[in-house]
Chains A and B, each alone.
Chain A
Amino acid sequence: MAAYGLGAEAKCVAVRCGEFRNVDPGSLQFAFDSLRKDDISTQHCLLELEIVPTVATCKAGHEYNPEALKYYACTTCGAGIQRLLQGEELDVVQVVIEIDD
Chain B
Amino acid sequence: MPASLIEHMLGNIIAENADLALHNHQHFNESGCFAVNLMSAPGAGKTSLLEKTLSILSKESSCAVIEGDMIGEHDAERLRKHGVEVFQINIGTTCHLDAQMVASLLHKKNMSNIDFLFIENVGNLVYPARFPLGEHKRVVLLSVSDGDDKPVKYPDIFKNADVVLLTKCDLLPYVDFDLSLAIDRVHKLNAGATCIAVSAKNGRGIEDWLQWLREEEIKVLASIHKEFY
| Interface positions of A (Cβ within 8 A of B) | 19, 21-27, 30-31, 33-35, 37-38, 68-69
By the criterion CB–CB under 8 Å, are B72 and A34 in contact?
A: no
By a CB distance below 8 angstroms, the chain B residues around A27 are 94, 98, 100-101
Stretch at the interface among B8-16, B45-53, B133-141, B198-206: B8-16
- Count B-side interface residues using an 8 Å CB cutoff: 17
By the criterion CB–CB under 8 Å, are A68 and B16 in contact?
A: no
By a CB distance below 8 angstroms, the chain B residues around A68 are 71-72
A-B contact count (CB 8 A): 43
By the criterion CB–CB under 8 Å, are B93 and A24 in contact?
A: yes
By the criterion CB–CB under 8 Å, are B13 and A34 in contact?
A: yes
By the criterion CB–CB under 8 Å, are A30 and B72 in contact?
A: no
- B:77-94 near A, CB below 8 Å: 90, 92-94
Label chain A's interface by main secondary structure. helix
By a CB distance below 8 angstroms, the chain A residues around B22 are none
Nearest 7 Cβ contacts at the A-B interface: A24-B94, A34-B16, A24-B92, A30-B100, A34-B13, A69-B72, A68-B71
By the criterion CB–CB under 8 Å, are A23 and B12 in contact?
A: no
By the criterion CB–CB under 8 Å, are A30 and B16 in contact?
A: yes
A22 nearest CB across to chain B (Å): 5
The verdict on B41 contacting chain A, using a C-beta distance below 8 Å, is no
A69 to B75, CA, bound (A): 12
A58 to B183, CA, bound (A): 49
A23 to B93, CA, bound (A): 7
| Interface positions of B (Cβ within 8 A of A) | 9, 12-13, 15-17, 71-72, 90, 92-95, 98, 100-101, 104
By the criterion CB–CB under 8 Å, are A35 and B12 in contact?
A: yes
Q: Which residue of B lies closest to A31 (CB)?
A: B13
A27 to B127, CA, bound (A): 12
Q: Which residue of A lies closest to B101 (CB)?
A: A26
By a CB distance below 8 angstroms, the chain B residues around A30 are 13, 16-17, 98, 100
A68 nearest CB across to chain B (Å): 5
A19 to B72, CA, bound (A): 16
By the criterion CB–CB under 8 Å, are A23 and B94 in contact?
A: yes
By the criterion CB–CB under 8 Å, are B92 and A35 in contact?
A: no
Contact of B93 among A22, A31, A69 (CB under 8 A): A22
By the criterion CB–CB under 8 Å, are A34 and B12 in contact?
A: yes
By the criterion CB–CB under 8 Å, are B93 and A26 in contact?
A: no
